[in-house]
Structure 1
Amino acid sequence: MQQKFTNKKWALITGALGGIGKALVKEFTNDGYSVLATDLKICNDNFDNVCFLQLDLESFVLDEAYAAEFYKKVNAVTDGVGITSLINNAAVQILADTRFISRQQWNTSFNVNLSAPFFLTQLFIDDLDRNSGSIVNISSIHATQTKKQFVAYATTKAALSSMTRNMVLDIGNRVRINAIEPAAIATDMLKAGFYGKDELYKRLEMFHPLGRVGTPSEIAKLAVFLTSDNAGFVQGACISASGGIQGCLSDPI
């Protein structure tokens, strides 16, 4: 079946096959975008206004030729128009104690979670500038508050939020760049981790002052807003989407 790309502006979304990624693809197409949906996994599904491109972010970071070839693919799909929005959503969450985490685990965390968003921004900055574009980095509550064994993941997310704030000093008014810092989001992966543990899941929900965890569509809609003209004065912001849990103090009593 021939794909149709009737929407004229393009969003590039990484990690598009994950829980938040799928919601991002849906909300951006609903908002009038054609979407370049990238993921490490292959997807052969065809949807109007969605083009799936396989992208290995570690190879993208480490291999300049691979990155250049990816840019050519994007340029071909968009007929030279280039992207208007870049959504750096993909991440790996490797849990390991500081005493035992391997160099490979540490480096993979930084390559995918931090270096890839940086080099994707660098690669597409001129296209984004030309199209009055915007970047949204999906960071995490772990940028500021974390748990045991999250040292690699939390450090990369803290750096991603910091990069978001600091990059605006170079970008200025050329391209807007902001970050979202979600707490627990009801993705299939999160739910699978609580399979058969209904009471624990309920405790997780109630620990959030809002009384529930977030939904992927809520994060996606916030990302769409941040790329819109309605957020025109929002620059270098790291926006908490935590259901209030970011203000909680966990006491033993």
Structure 2
Amino acid sequence: MMKKVLITGVLGGIGSALALAFREAGFYVYGLDIQNSERHEADRLIQFDLHKFSTDEEYRNEWKRNFNALIPELHVLINNAAVQLLDSLADLKLDDWNHTMTVNLTGPLLLGQHFLESLEEVNGCIINIGSIHQQLTKRRFISYATSKSALIGLTRALAVDLEGRVRVNAISPAAIETDMLLAGFDGNQGALDELRKIHPVQRIGSPNDVAKMALFLASESSGFIHGANLTLDGGISSVLKDL
């Protein structure tokens, strides 16, 4: 029997790597993304608005019916989709804050709730993609850092609440070479080179680093890992940087 995985934000850098790695491991990959594209690594790409799913009851009910028809069986849910809207406190817009929370936090909660029975039937698991910003952050990352901190809190709370029904874990990557990272640095290559040097491993993470860890968490051999937040940071959270 082929195992099934659902990956949100599947067209992004990490999402694409996740889809490719799980397909190579023998999974059938359902990919959700707000964008549509002919170029993707999923077996089936489903255009889907996670923000609308979290805020519009009619849309949510429609998609619950769609999911029941499209994905009757699921072994792994990977909540990878995220938005990163940067602003300082003085300029932060409430709409941006709310949008960040619905996509990065409420969406994973509601998808987990919907697929709970399917996952429980096959001893499945939920993997939430967090961020180093849940622990260490920078100026202007207020909404993003808060949402990722809350996602790690949700991971622990779900693990306790669900007990042995479905395993729930998180991966919190540091800098991963994606379009989102480049946007955060405004494409400044000099700053990216400095970032590489700050990491004890002397490089920025690759999307495949995240995918390999997700595959491990999805494997049956990791069945005792539950409610964990695995940091994937190249050692940077151990660094005290001298000025």
Are the counterparts in 1 of residues 16 and 40 from structure 2 also a CA contact under 8 Å? no
Q: Which residue, out of 110, 124, 131, partners 1:133?
A: 124
Distance, in Å, in 1 between the alignment partners of 2:48 and 2:238 is 37
Are the counterparts in 1 of residues 75 and 118 from structure 2 also a CA contact under 8 Å? yes
Q: Residue 111 of structure 1 aligns with which residue?
A: 102
Which residue type is aligned with residue 62 of structure 1? T
Q: Residue 15 of structure 1 aligns with which residue?
A: 9
Q: Residue 72 of structure 1 aligns with which residue?
A: 65
1:26-45 aligned at under 5 Å gives the runs: 26-45=20-39
Q: Residue 226 of structure 1 aligns with which residue?
A: 217
Count residues with an aligned counterpart: 243
Q: Residue 250 of structure 1 aligns with which residue?
A: 241
Distance, in Å, in 2 between the alignment partners of 1:38 and 1:16 is 6
Q: Residue 18 of structure 2 aligns with which residue?
A: 24
CA deviation after TM superposition for structure 1 residue 199, in Å: 2.9
Q: Residue 211 of structure 1 aligns with which residue?
A: 202
Q: Which residue, out of 77, 88, 93, partners 1:97?
A: 88
Distance, in Å, in 2 between the alignment partners of 1:185 and 1:230 is 26
**What do residues 13-33 of structure 1 show as CA deviations (whole Å, max 9, x unaligned)?**
000000000001101111111
For structure 2, list consecutive stretches of 5 or more residues without a partner in the other structure. Answer: none
Greater Cα offset, 36-45 or 152-161: 36-45
> Taking every aligned residue pair, what percent have the same amino acid on both sides?
42
Question: CA-atom RMSD, angstroms?
Answer: 1.8
**What do residues 216-251 of structure 1 show as CA deviations (whole Å, max 9, x unaligned)?**
011011111101112110000000000000111233
Distance, in Å, in 1 between the alignment partners of 2:55 and 2:217 is 30
Partner of 1:250: helix, strand, or coil? coil
Q: Which residue, out of 185, 191, 194, partners 1:200?
A: 191
CA deviation after TM superposition for structure 1 residue 191, in Å: 4.3
Partner of 1:99: helix, strand, or coil? helix
**What do residues 185-242 of structure 1 show as CA deviations (whole Å, max 9, x unaligned)?**
0124434666874332221101001110100011011111101112110000000000
Which residue type is aligned with residue 66 of structure 2? K
**What do residues 25-61 of structure 1 show as CA deviations (whole Å, max 9, x unaligned)?**
10111111111101010124587x6111111111101
Partner of 1:239: helix, strand, or coil? strand
The TM-score with structure 2 as length reference comes to 0.94
Distance, in Å, in 2 between the alignment partners of 1:46 and 1:146 is 31
